[in-house]
Amino acid sequence: MAAFKGAARFWERGRIVYNGILIAVVAAWLLLTWPHFRPALTLQSGLLMLVQAALANACYCAAYPVDVILQLTARGGRRPFWRIPLWCLGSLFAAALACYWIADEIYPYVVSAVPVHG
């Protein structure tokens, strides 16, 4: 039980920054490529973004069993040194995945939907 409490204390504080990173990635895409994304901002795409945010947070929960297992197998009751690197790697992976998803799944559709006047 103590292992789970320690994991929850660390990872739930990190979730706030994790969500902030993902919001910053999406905001950067919107701001840096704004004219192209205007047609994509619909109720349906907003609901899809909420589903994606929920899935990202569900994936974040994968750290809990890893943390608890590593705590239970650690020797000597030392403070877990691997939490911060694990959090950084997971957050970078999530940001890269968000960039890939936007660039591959959303951006080509939006760019092709924008009428070209020539």
The answer to whether position 29 is within a domain reads yes
Q: What is the domain count for the chain? A: 1
* pLDDT 10s digits, 7-17: 899 999 999 99
What's the mean pLDDT when you consider all of the chain?
84
* Two tokens, residue 2: 């103590």
pLDDT in tens, 6-60: 889 999 999 999 999 999 999 998 898 887 777 777 888 788 888 889 999 999 9
Stretch 73-101: mean pLDDT: 86
d(CA 37, CA 111): 8
For helices 83-101 and 43-60, give the axis angle rounded to 10 degrees.
160
Report yes or no on 117 lying in a domain.
no
Instruction: Answer whether residue 61 is part of any domain.
Output: yes
Structural domain containing residue 26 = 2-112
82: in domain? yes
- The answer to whether position 55 is within a domain reads yes
Beta strands in the chain (DSSP E): none
Domain membership of residue 48 (yes or no) is: yes
Residue 36 within a domain: yes
Q: How many CB atoms lie within 10 A of CB 67?
A: 22
Judge whether 118 lies within some domain.
Answer: no
